[in-house]
Structure 1
Amino acid sequence: MKTAMINRTVANIGLIALLWLLCTLTIPGPLQAAIFFDSDFETCNVGTENDFPCQGWDDLIPPGQHNAEWSDEVNANTLEITNVGCFSGSKCIKETFRNNGLAGDGGNKPTIYKTVPRTDHMFFRGVIKRDASFRTCTLNNSTKMWRFRGEGIGGGYPILLMGVRSDRYVVAVEGPYDFAGTYVFTGGPLISTTWQNVELEWKWNTPGVSDGIIRLWVDGVLYIERLNLALRGPTLTSVGLSGKLDTSDYYFNSSQVYAQCGTGALYWDRLAVGDTRIGPAQSRLSSADSTPPARPTLNPIP
């Protein structure tokens, strides 16, 4: 009798252990933070006038958007791979601006893009510099440089933009739910002729709650921080104050380098996007610590 009870007890313990093991194998744990890509452009062609697609970057975005990377049109803007003066290795992106927003200046706005997965929290990191001749667009004193666009016809709304106004970094949001126009968040430093690590954070608001976040760092210093934003609406049919459709299920699916308007040239290297802060890139010639910096507190900058 006692032996039978012991055997049943051992069997029960074994069954419980087996069930626990199966549960740990089949029930997923919390999602891990990820860097979706970190592009160094080392495998790209140079000087072909058709350097993309490369490393998942392409210029074939939906019809209706000006997207050709290269044009022989007079005063046309261009995007290309260069092997001169790059940050991390032997190759990087050169963005040449000839269209200064004036009539007859061509009007092309070349774009290269790389897709990104749906996520509520998104971070960008790029290493950027200008040449000595670069000037922002004379039409509105601003040059759009980087943007996240989303799903839907024409990319949908809102659109997140990072660029320069009066040669200083700014962040803009076109068509947000809670503002009848375009948010322009100023306070960034001057764009430099030496390489700068630029980081951008975007957190979607919970539908119906004003808890969206936008931050901008340059060389590890937090310059722009805006909290408590309602960037998308509370329902599947929400229309924002600007008259744009800002639905509760809207996400970005495209990260883009965008040559809109200006003169001179910009250079880009080590473009990265993830759902966690990536931290400044290090030159391969540098032995500096590459550990990502700690996240800041949520206290807004005045």
Structure 2
Amino acid sequence: MPICTNTFLLIITLITIHVADNNQPLSGASTVVEIPHIDFIEMSAVQPHESDPDVIWDDDFGLEKAYLESSGKIDYEVKFGTTGGSMEAGFEKDMIEGKGNRKVAFGDFPSNRNVLRAGEHFDEIYWRIYVKHEYGWEGAPAKMSRATSIVSARPWRQAMIAHVWSGEGNSLTLDPVRGVDEQSAKVKTQHYNDFKNFHWLGNSPCSEFQISSTEESGYWILVESMVRLNTPGKNDGLNRLWIDGRLEAERTNLNLRGTYTEHGINAVFLEAYWNEGAIKTENRWFDNFVISTQAIGPVVSPANPVIHKTLYHGRDSLSAWEIELATDYSGNSIVFQSKEIRPQEAIKIASENGTFSGILQKKSKLTSGETYFCRVRQKNYNNIWSDWSRWHQPFTVE
């Protein structure tokens, strides 16, 4: 039976609509793909800090170590890299004091138990951790870490403190304190956290990086701090904070100890404390903890490192992802561009998986001693790409 003209046109129209829709998201599928991050880089088997004479302490949380004080268990399921574990630092809902802490004593700390490099005097130190907040994290815990000068056995009196605390919003900030009378060199504090006798030296500006925001949850972030005591009688002390390889906050021209010199910096504490109580039950972890008299920086990896992306969280499925490497935080010098990587969540940076470019054109590996930054994007099975992440997750080649 012949098809009438109107019926034929209707069938053609429906076919055209169906073909056109084949490249569109399925009904109910997301049209926005979450921006991924690089979770971690597989590290070299031996890290430089393990044999560095400038290093006071290091812990990858593979085994329990002898701290001055510690609480909370090691999590062997969540870790930066593929070995060791991590320190649990999360919270149950409404909890003020979180799941774990670690206290390291060194130098002239007034104790004869678990004091590293006992008797030495330290006027400048650096400390580094990697921090991961559970995917979907909400809220800003008050305290993360501190370096301090303890001048007496219990009760611990403090000559100075360099706090790394939450700032405005979901930022981190530095909040240094002097516990010494500026003129007499007398330690004014009578016990630990003697707020009444603290002289606060300024807690702003805060970091631009919103480390405890939901957007920055689910992957490992490098946090490094340093403090240098002032020359006695001068205002030349220094306190700095780097996040993800970039200087995010600093306090200069500090008077941290007046003319007091009997004790130097002699302790670093990792903390989980939420002044107002946690808004929900959620986990946080610390890993790769190092204390040194020199800058530490990121982990060290092979020249063809294996790099792990965060898990895909879309309602649909992951189709592919791409990664690029650059030698700077702004991505001005890109040196590697991957092919489309199928749904596996890791890639080896090598010629079979992408192209070396820029200063590494025609090379087959990264340059020894150089630090690289990553950015990444992903697409779903509807061929919708996410935006690129910002440049992040620095690592140094062995």
Q: Choose the corresponding residue for 2:133, options 118, 127, 130.
A: 130
Amino acid at match of 1:190: Q
Does 1:35 find its partner at 2:35?
A: no
Amino acid at match of 2:232: P
Could you list the per-position Cα deviations for residues 72-117 of structure 1 after superposition, in whole angstroms to 9, with x for gaps in the alignment?
Answer: xxxxxxx3210123103241111122374xxxx5767853212232
Q: CA deviation at 1:56?
A: 2.9
Aligned pair count?
Answer: 215
Q: CA deviation at 1:59?
A: 2.4
Could you list the per-position Cα deviations for residues 142-184 of structure 1 after superposition, in whole angstroms to 9, with x for gaps in the alignment?
Answer: 5111112322232413222112232211111234557843631
Aligned to 1:249: 262
Aligned to 1:120: 123
Aligned to 1:47: none
Cα separation, partners in 2 of 1:256 and 1:180, compared to 1, 3 Å: closer
Cα separation, partners in 2 of 1:122 and 1:86, compared to 1, 3 Å: same
Q: Choose the corresponding residue for 1:164, options 139, 163, 166.
A: 166
Does 1:185 find its partner at 2:179?
A: no
Amino acid at match of 2:55: I
Q: CA deviation at 1:215?
A: 0.9
Does 1:218 find its partner at 2:243?
A: yes
Q: Distance in 2 between matches of 1:184 and 1:109?
A: 26
Cα separation, partners in 2 of 1:207 and 1:200, compared to 1, 3 Å: same
RMSD: 2.9
Amino acid at match of 1:163: W
Aligned to 1:93: 87
Q: Distance in 1 between matches of 2:166 and 2:368?
A: 27
Q: Distance in 2 between matches of 1:34 and 1:108?
A: 31
CA contact 1:136–1:164 (8 Å) conserved in 2: no
Aligned to 1:199: 224
In the superposition, the TM-score normalised over structure 2's length comes to 0.48
Q: Distance in 2 between matches of 1:290 and 1:249?
A: 42
Cα separation, partners in 2 of 1:87 and 1:110, compared to 1, 3 Å: closer
Q: Distance in 1 between matches of 2:297 and 2:234?
A: 28
Q: Distance in 2 between matches of 1:219 and 1:145?
A: 16
Q: Choose the corresponding residue for 1:271, options 289, 297, 303.
A: 289
Q: Distance in 2 between matches of 1:96 and 1:115?
A: 23
Cα separation, partners in 2 of 1:85 and 1:185, compared to 1, 3 Å: same
Q: Distance in 2 between matches of 1:290 and 1:273?
A: 24
Q: Distance in 2 between matches of 1:108 and 1:85?
A: 17
Could you list the per-position Cα deviations for residues 261-291 of structure 1 after superposition, in whole angstroms to 9, with x for gaps in the alignment?
Answer: 1533221110001100011124684577784
CA contact 1:123–1:200 (8 Å) conserved in 2: yes
Aligned to 1:57: 67
CA contact 2:176–2:202 (8 Å) conserved in 1: yes
CA contact 1:84–1:90 (8 Å) conserved in 2: no
Aligned to 1:76: none
Q: Distance in 2 between matches of 1:212 and 1:292?
A: 30
Q: Distance in 2 between matches of 1:108 and 1:123?
A: 24
CA contact 1:109–1:258 (8 Å) conserved in 2: no
Runs of 5+ unmatched residues, structure 1 = 1-31, 45-53, 61-68, 70-78, 235-246, 294-302
Amino acid at match of 1:253: N
Q: CA deviation at 1:200?
A: 0.5
What SS does the corresponding residue of 1:196 show, helix, strand or coil?
strand
Q: Choose the corresponding residue for 2:73, options 69, 80, 99.
A: 80
Q: Distance in 1 between matches of 2:290 and 2:144?
A: 15
Amino acid at match of 2:66: G
Moved more, 283-292 or 158-167: 283-292
CA contact 1:127–1:281 (8 Å) conserved in 2: no
Larger radius of gyration: 2
Q: CA deviation at 1:199?
A: 0.9
In the superposition, the TM-score normalised over structure 1's length comes to 0.62
Q: Distance in 1 between matches of 2:73 and 2:273?
A: 15
What SS does the corresponding residue of 1:207 show, helix, strand or coil?
coil
Q: Distance in 1 between matches of 2:98 and 2:89?
A: 13
Amino acid at match of 2:228: K
Aligned to 2:233: 208
Q: Distance in 2 between matches of 1:92 and 1:290?
A: 28
